[in-house]
Amino acid sequence: MGYQYYNPNPAGKTVGDCVVRALTILFDDTWSHVYADITMQGAFLYDMPSSDAVWGEYLKANGFTKHTLPNTCPNCYTINQFVKDFPKGTYLVATGTHVVAVVDGNFYDSSNSGNEMIIYYWRKEI
């Protein structure tokens, strides 16, 4: 359980596309297809595909619900802690500047972001 290296970007890039990379895991899809989908979603909303509102609507339309974390320790709840507390399920975890996919206790990213602080998460409802 924990960090799993993952980078589906066809050009091997690791900056600016974390949402696309995470969504490829959550939807078992290609980087190009996910990028096209959220770009289209952005066009409908007149916003950039990397906007929280755009990919949030994409997640909502695909059975995910947004959850905020209690404010008991706003500067101490990390991705590493999240995967320990949520060993089952499918999630997109947001830090404010980054997102990662979490599936059954593993988080997938192009670098180990486990010490980043979580602000909120999306959960795939069963």
pTM of the predicted model as reported, rounded to 2 decimal places:
0.93
Nearest Cα residue to 105 out of 116, 91, 118, 120: 91
Which residues 6+ apart lie within 8 Å of 59 measured at CB? 26, 66, 92, 122
Please count the structural domains in the chain: 1
Domain boundaries, position 108? 2-124
For residue 118, give the DSSP letter: P
Cα 10 to Cα 100: distance, rounded to the nearest angstrom: 18
Cβ–Cβ contacts within 10 Å for residue 91, how many? 22
Give the model's pLDDT for residue 111: 95
Q: Which of 29, 3, 35 is CA-nearest to residue 110? A: 3
The pLDDT of residue 74 is 63
Write down the pLDDT at residue 21. Answer: 97
Give every residue of the chain whose pLDDT is below 50, as ranges. Answer: none
CA–CA distance, 70 with 83 (Å, rounded to integer):
16
Backbone angles phi, psi at 49, to 5 degrees: -60, -25
